[in-house]
Structure 1
Amino acid sequence: MFQGIRELRAARGRAALIIATITLITVLVTFLSSLAAGLSYQSVSALQERLGEDTSLVVEDTGTTTLASSRLTDEQTQQIRDAGGEILYMARTRINERPTVVLSSSTPMPDDLYFDHQPVRFESAADVSALPGATSAGVLPTGTDVNTDGLTVLEGKDRWNASSSYAGEQMSLNLMINLLYVISALVLGAFFTVWTLQRLRGVVISAALGASRRVLISDAMGQAFLVLLTGIGAGVLLTWGASMLISGSIPIEISAATLALPAVILGAAGLAGSAVSLKPVLGVEPRAALANA
């Protein structure tokens, strides 16, 4: 990597440009990932806590899967109870003039949970079902056999579609994040390809002096790794610092899943893109290239 580091120092302007580009992409990806996690928490955290992992959510088949539109009949309610399930009631009300979602639960639940971006309060099934406009759905152990006529059974992550806001938010944000991963690979691939062509004479001289292709490849990829490490590290730090300042004003969640994981994926995408630049290096013929230089 000696030659690669010297070239980075010699071309500080180009190095700063690509590092700044990677930093901005990293900020976008990590910030969107943190925002997606924060929006997810405010959409379905109460439902996630209430349902746990090994349950299915049974809602009325109305063309949508939202809990707000599900109203089970007495027959369907009895059928779910006979199958060993329970009924989950939901209602909307105002508590101290603040819109609040009320969910039924027979066990104590943590505070500071949300559903459809509204704070949640847990009460007994009898109290919630008596509230105006209360809706109902069934909660069954996963794999329970139940007659699904007029019902929709949601399992796994599909259960979170019971929130009217969850699917649209997560789909759009995840699409943007995935596109940024692709853009990162393309930008890095184009940049390092151009850079490699510009430094090809130095590569040729190194090859003519006896450097193996393995050494040349290690030098090129090591250079890309340093650029990626600097840019991605700066982007993660910027996102973390910004989140500390604005966490109270927008729903944002900082964790390893929203910072470390996107950083690793960006690094892998960047290295994959920069691998494209190895083609001129692999095709170097020292004598012919020097004769044409």
Structure 2
Amino acid sequence: MTPFGYRRAQSIDEALRLGLTPGAHFLGGGTNLIDLAKGGVVQPMLLIDVSRLPLADVTATADGGARIGAMARNSDVANHPLIRTRYPLLSQALLAGASPQLRNMATVGGNLLQRTRCPYFYDTGFEHCNKRAPGSGCGAVGGINRNHAILGASAACIATHPSDMCVALAALRAQVHVRGPRGERAIAMADFHRLPGDTPQRDTTLAAGELILGVDLPPDGFAGHAHYLKVRDRASYAFALVSVAAALDVRGGVIRDAALALGGVAHKPWRRPEAEARLVGHEPSDAAFGEAADLLLQGARPASQNGFKLTLARRAIVRALQTAGAQA
């Protein structure tokens, strides 16, 4: 492990100032970053501890939505009364991730910044990983790729984003609030994570030195009509082969609005608004759910070992929508 400096930021302004140091990384719960540093995947020169900053609250907003601070622990958010009652999709997704011990440590901001669990990225013994060493190639393309992407991948990278929380936030159309050297801005969840293209080493659209302050949820949380379905190789402490965040607003037997996103299939949470729009105005039915699934999976290109994900994802989408529809 490369030697590094450590500073505990006493304020957001101090954190931002320290964040301009070459090789600096913000440290929250450390459940991902410390593993990466231990393995030599990343080599921080300075860790800036932001875990004590006043960014851990979960509060209702004036417009009827909610603000979740970046330093809020995953377990606290999942069990917060406001989230459990008004945003059950997010609560379910958080509780499906990791283990209780990790959820007690992990922060919302850190969850947004999780790196892929692709073995070619995590193990520096593998020479070819464009995400870790740009220009070196992608070992997964011709290697072991059962868990890899079927949507939005490129010749440079077929890794998947590992977060459960982010899939729910994408479906709920959340916004991420950040502050950096150029001031504060809001980033739609749909735009926060990047597809790999030719620069897979860049996971997000964050600019250099920007610090995540929190996440805003819109007023409509699809309370009571939501389901997060995670399909994995074992019942707990495993990343998704496919996950689905599905929610419906059903009134008078007709779908008025829908929220739908996939995890485990792309470099970012996968959402297509046209798939949600296909459901609006229809009665909840397997036929309508199947059409939405086909739209969401349009353009899928499985790798050599993960063709099963296409069938698995379609069935999971329909099942999640059925469950949400039955609640409605």
TM-score norm. by structure 2 comes to 0.23
Give 1 or 2: higher strand fraction. Answer: 2
Which protein is bigger by CA-based radius of gyration?
A: 1
Indicate the structure with greater helix content: 1
What is the TM-score normalised by the length of structure 1? 0.26
